[in-house]
Amino acid sequence: MKIKKLVLDNFGLFRGHNEIDLDTRVVRGKVKPIVLIGGKNGSGKTSILESIRLCLYGSQGIADRISVKGYEQYLRGRVHRDDSLLINPTSAAVTLIFEHAHIGAKHEFTVTRSWDVKENSVSSSLEVFRDGTPLDEIDRENAEEFLRDLVPPGVAQLYFFDGEKIQELAEAEDVDAALSDAIKNLLGLELVDRLQADLRIYKNRIDNEDANADVVKTIEAMDNELLERRSELVELRKSHDAAVSQSDSIRKDIARQEARIAKEGGAYANKREELEVQKRSHTARIEELENEIRRHAENLLPFTIVPQLCNEVEFQLSAERKIQEWNAVEKVVEDRGSKFQITVKKLLRQHEKDIGAEILSGIESEILVALMHFVEKPKELSTASAIHNLSSDQQARLLTGIERARTEVPGQIEKLRKSLEKETRSLLKAEQALKKVPSEDQLKPMVEAINELNQQLGASQTIVRQKESALGSADFAIKELERKLEKAEKLKRESGKLHQKQEFAERVQAVLEEYHKKLLQAKSTELGEALIKRFSQLWRKGDRAKRIEINPTTYEVVLYDRHDRAVPKKELSAGEKQIYAIAILWALADVSGRPLPMVIDTPLGRLDGDHRNHLVERYFPHASHQVIILSTDTEIDEEYFNDLSPSVSHAIHLHYAKDDARTIVEDGYFWKRRSTKKELAGATQ
């Protein structure tokens, strides 16, 4: 089977006539199997999968058991509605065009399911065309059954599924029961059970011809009682399923309430006291750091921001120190110079006769000039002046302070700055978290609602357990009655003449039993092999799983590691359980041998990066000859889109136009798209 086109008329968010081309393209002789449909949450992706199920299976595509009233309410809710429109549509339709090989020949089928909504009723119709011609009268009268035979619902659920289906299978405690149902649907074993029941009735009719009248009456009474018991069992199962559905619904309500609390900041409520302590601690530490910075500001910090001025002060103090030193010796030098001058004159006068007055005068002048040069103030001090007039100790302390301002203080201030910045960020973080803490008035009604829902869940689970107990009792009663009936039938056969037809019927029944047993055994083995193959392909720890065994009687699945040790399912992480569920669906599809397209809605939501990579690389391109993926831009993002491109036939984008309250179908994906004229024209109708 290959889906060629889906047509939505006023269905859900799709206003007017919308055609979605799902046929795969052939590029350079190679079929590209993937059709990628992207859309934000709330843009109508799930409606695509939903419309395919609805078109093929009607009410059965919506839920396993839904009342006529419930189905009518569903159809009412799926007619497009926009409160801004003067007149809203009162009818809707979904059309699926697909190719399918039926009884050895390939045909094109067009299936249209439409409905009209009136004030007090909903009328629906189904039309099926084969190669453009309506079905013949017999097939037309049984169109629903015809479609179910064409694509059995039990098999289709292995090909048309969403993230919730994967999650449900991944988290199911009784996954063996789910697998049992899937295998029975896959193999059509209900037909074998029905044939066996018909054979038993046929045998009874033969036996009645010659059997004892009292035995016949007893058997007839038992048969009638057995029919009643089985009818009661069917009703009990419906009642049990309804109770389970009610429990599941309550659990979803609880999950929604918990999500609402989390959204309102409920997760922070338990941390309020801790956050308050953190806030006080960070505030106190910030105050300590600011005080430390203030102490530096009152001491040497100002010097660090005026290094040039510090250099000038240091130079001035050095000059003043020299001035002080000169001033301290200037008087002594002058006195000694004067005395030296007098002594020199006396000595020279003693040799005046020998030297001559003129020479003596020259020598005296030179000595006096040298002496004046020696005792005069140094030139570098002649232009300097004392400004600060500090003592030597005061100068030393000031110079030491300037040196520390250059070397020590900047490092200390930088360390304080980093600590203050860190504490300030932590304080802001704590304050922001405290702002998210909802008030008691906000939380109280939500907590009360969860408490009430938990009480309802407890009561609902009690009802489920009661129903399960009743089912067990009813099943036991039926088996006991069947045992008595088998004993009576044996007595009847012994009292009457066994016909050749009866012997033939018994042989056929035995063959069916053996066929049933061997078919389950063979398919369980085949499924186990397919499951380990697909599981190993998808699991990032590909060497961990060595083999998988499936019990053909209980359908229990046991996974063995490379050391041949059983791996309990509870040891798998949430992501690994998701991969396990996808592997089960893939393996079941492999074993079915039916060439059906895969339609997968939001498959990557709860997976980590490695498992997402495995699905993109190893699953999507090979899952089927046609794979329709419905995704958000956070699942198949630009990187994954590029990885898938070699296998992508084409991409479609669902754009929700908020102002028009409708979804528009566009070519392309999120970052590269355009609306086709046909789609835009249809969407405006």
Q: What pLDDT does residue 98 have?
A: 93
Q: Give ∠ CA 17-19-25 in degrees, rounded to 5.
A: 175
> Residue 396 — pLDDT band, cuts 50, 70, 90?
confident
Q: Is 243's pLDDT higher than 50?
A: yes
Question: Got the DSSP string for 641-660?
Answer: HHHHGGGEEEEEEEEEETTT
Closest CA to 45 of 89, 12, 73: 12
Q: What pLDDT does residue 111 have?
A: 94
**Axis crossing angle, helix 500-538 with helix 175-187, rounded to the nearest 10:** 120
Q: Is 51's pLDDT higher than 80?
A: yes
Q: What pLDDT does residue 311 have?
A: 83
Q: What pLDDT does residue 676 have?
A: 39
Q: What pLDDT does residue 317 have?
A: 79
Structure tokens at 281: 């601690």
Average pLDDT in the 581-605 region?
Answer: 79
Average pLDDT in the 167-187 region?
Answer: 59
Q: Is 164's pLDDT higher than 70?
A: no
What is the arrangement of strands in the sheet containing 2-11, beginning at the earlier edge strand? 14-21, 2-11, 91-102, 105-117, 122-130, 133-134
Q: Please say whether the structural domain 174-208+505-593 has been given the CATH code 3.40.50.
A: yes
Q: Is 93's pLDDT higher than 50?
A: yes
Q: Is 580's pLDDT higher than 90?
A: no
> Residue 342 — pLDDT band, cuts 50, 70, 90?
confident
CA distances from 131 to 67, 107, 108, 128, 364 (A): 34, 6, 5, 10, 143
> Residue 560 — pLDDT band, cuts 50, 70, 90?
confident
CA distances from 656 to 39, 41, 685 (A): 8, 9, 16
Which segment of 298-302, 359-363, 454-458 scores lowest on mean pLDDT? Answer: 359-363
Q: Is 141's pLDDT higher than 70?
A: no
183-215 pLDDT, tens digit each: 666 555 656 666 776 777 776 666 665 555 667
Average pLDDT in the 133-158 region?
Answer: 73
d(CA 549, CA 557): 6
What value does the CA radius of gyration of the chain take, rounded to a whole number of Å? 48
> Residue 319 — pLDDT band, cuts 50, 70, 90?
confident
| Bigger pLDDT: 45 vs 570 | 45
Q: What pLDDT does residue 511 have?
A: 81
Q: Are 642 and 651 in contact (CB under 8 A)?
A: no
| Bigger pLDDT: 619 vs 65 | 619
Q: Is 418's pLDDT higher than 70?
A: yes
Q: Are 631 and 166 in contact (CB under 8 A)?
A: no
DSSP 223: H
Quickly tell me which residue has 């089960």 as its tokens. Answer: 584
Whole-number average pLDDT of the chain = 79
Average pLDDT in the 509-523 region?
Answer: 79
Q: Are 601 and 46 in contact (CB under 8 A)?
A: yes
> Residue 138 — pLDDT band, cuts 50, 70, 90?
low
CA 444 to chain centre: 29
Quickly tell me which residue has 């609805």 as its tokens. Answer: 54
Which segment of 136-150, 233-247, 572-586 scores lowest on mean pLDDT? Answer: 136-150
> Residue 681 — pLDDT band, cuts 50, 70, 90?
very low
| Bigger pLDDT: 531 vs 289 | 289
Q: E strand or H helix at 443, and its extent?
A: helix 440-495
- CB neighbourhood size of 448 (10 A): 10
Q: Are 543 and 562 in contact (CB under 8 A)?
A: yes
Give the percent of the chain with pLDDT over 90.
18
Q: Is 451's pLDDT higher than 90?
A: no
